[in-house]
Amino acid sequence: MNLDACIQNATQTLIDHVEELTTLDQAIGDGDHGLNMKRGSLAIQAKLPSLEGQPMAAVLKALGMTCMSTIGGSSGPVFGTLLVTLSKELPESASAADCARALQRGIEALTRLGKAEVGQKTLLDVLDPVRKILQDMPTDMPKAEMLARVRQGAHDAAAATAAMAAIKGRASFLGERADGHIDPGSRSMALIIGAVCDRL
């Protein structure tokens, strides 16, 4: 796996979608999610050269700490905690089952962090469907088909948050006014997953 290419594509995708993420967050949040994710992405891109040649666990941990220190609002701790957890759980050559187990640990860590649960209009509502797809993936499925299924599942799951009631975060204060809007964090998570799939 070319980890550097995956990271570059994921961060650049977030940067390229800053206006979309900002618009989503203006509807149900503080309006700064896009800029926060762009700031973190640029910081990660700047750090990558110093991480060249290091094991995946070390790289993911370093990126998680970078997220925590550079991304504002709740997104820094959330994406940072996810990356740090994955750094502990993902083997260097991970199978679909390995990824599913690592995502489960990530979901558990984020649940402890934010007291959020699946079904409450957060990025957990992308991570959990993707976890299930990976968990149920036939071991003999062609790689291209597997990646396409994961990518589509992530994007469909993010879109589905529009129909969910917001229970956590600033959007929860809006009540029914948050209905019909995609959760910005979920959209970011789907963009990241799709971008990584494109480089695997």
pLDDT tens digits for 20-65?
Answer: 999 999 887 788 999 999 999 999 999 999 999 999 999 999 999 9
Distance between CA atoms of 123 and 58, rounded to whole angstroms?
Answer: 24
Q: pLDDT, tens digit, for every residue of 150-166?
A: 999 999 999 999 998 76
More confident residue, 44 or 169: 44
Whole-number Cα distances in Å, 147 to 27, 122, 150, 187: 31, 23, 5, 18
DSSP-derived letter for residue 166 is P
Q: Report whether 102 contacts 89 (CB < 8 A).
A: yes
- Collapsed DSSP state (helix, strand, coil) of residue 46: helix
Q: Is the pLDDT confidence value at 140 over 50? A: yes
Distance between CA atoms of 171 and 51, rounded to whole angstroms?
Answer: 37
Residue 173: per-residue pLDDT: 45
Q: pLDDT, tens digit, for every residue of 184-193?
A: 999 999 999 9
Q: pLDDT, tens digit, for every residue of 64-119?
A: 999 999 998 889 999 999 999 999 999 999 999 999 999 999 999 999 998 889 99
The pTM is what?
0.92
What is the domain partition of the chain in residue ranges? Answer: 3-199
3-199: CATH topology is: 1.25.40
